Chains A and B, each alone.
Chain A
């Protein structure tokens, strides 16, 4: 068995742009769920809007990258308002129902053949990175060290992804340590109490939904930059992977989503590499290669359950909090 390749592939996930993208989406969910207590089950929808909001104007209108990013963010704000205005006055679970449904509606709209000319339907869109690549400071070629050998394009997107993630983490840290953060954390604990203290709870919840959604949207852009965009990326399972990352790292933390994403992807890559090679080597005679590919997701499910049962505060969460969880 090629242990070097298994560990090498796992190590690549430490710094891959995908890891950063998932961390960014999880950071958005931390704002929603960890800090404000909003149950958003539609983070995949926000990511989809980021991906297509960037790709469509880039391909069809030839807009520069910053205009594409803005388009994506505007779309995400509108999406957040549509979801939030009717549901945030209601109990928390209504938002969960509406967001999961709305994210699916979006995915199906982008999958249907009706809008093929714009969305590329199920086969998606590609080659929208043009003017961004023109800014690539890395000279052409493949370089790196150890397992981290990529071409200049991957290095560029990798750098970009981690810079965006770092900025988002600093931003989240700044707002959460401020009086604004105090209000949203109060809302998480008991929104009526916060209302009785003269805070406009509804407005804070909308702001939180927009902010976390915007991070999800940026995550969507970062996620699809190194690849082509297809709607099947944005299945509801994506949202649940991001929840797994969030819970793994610690829901009400800034670095938790980042650590969670790294651990998640490294383990996922290690498991899938190990299982597929174990099947190849005949160690698991009852299993085919196709089944092995699915097994890693079963392991993710088991991992989520184990986290919630045995380490509900996550890797970076505050253990003290748990003493009081009802």
Chain B
């Protein structure tokens, strides 16, 4: 291996950090506070995943995603999910249109999901039938309607929001749907110091106009850089054991998991851990994944992949507690190997 390759890798990593920082700074011009959420959304976008944002109304979830669309100069569409929405409203359908010669013909009208950034607002208000319309698009990056298959343009990222409070009239996302989100980010209330800035920006005369600091091509290049980051064996072992630690009955599961968890993470969770950790490693100025990168993304990656049992729900155990317990009890592979 020549030094030129190493130099190229260093240059890619440097470019990655700079672009990332510029996007973050631009989004932060409109979005006050919520640094962790912004970082999580950007990490998921650059890792090639989708994000589920959970928070009570009024915290700026929708604004964050729309700001990201503006800053990245990507095609952006917003779908407001409602109980009477049909899958065709998401994916698109064939409509009868009059042809030039006076006749009629079926013409496919693509749905709002065909975009780079898709904001699925209040996704849990739609029926599971409509929610599942996103499954193929999120995993395969394509749509199949009838005999027509549409390849979705990269970067494609679904950012869904849901409100954890108003559960009446909602349909919790099925496990298959949840598993397709790389991160689940919990949007909390802003800090006390952020309130003044929020009020100043949102109640004044001037609106904050965002400029596009990146584009689809740059995002795709950054995604490619992320994929090149190597993962050493001990980090792979750590990610595997971390995922296995969420599965009740496994050798790495702590007592809390055995008792309260009914379903652990799938291998897709390990993939998400490594992809998120690669972005973290690049942002930390390293060229390989470390165990601390994996631990840093463990919560957003695993919290929606762990299904609590009845006893856990009745005891008030949260999935974040489960992930923290697994992290605390799981030995680093080198220490375990002794």
Question: A and B: real partners?
Answer: no
On B, residues with C-beta under 8 Å from A are none
User: Which positions in A face B, CB cutoff 8 Å?
Assistant: none
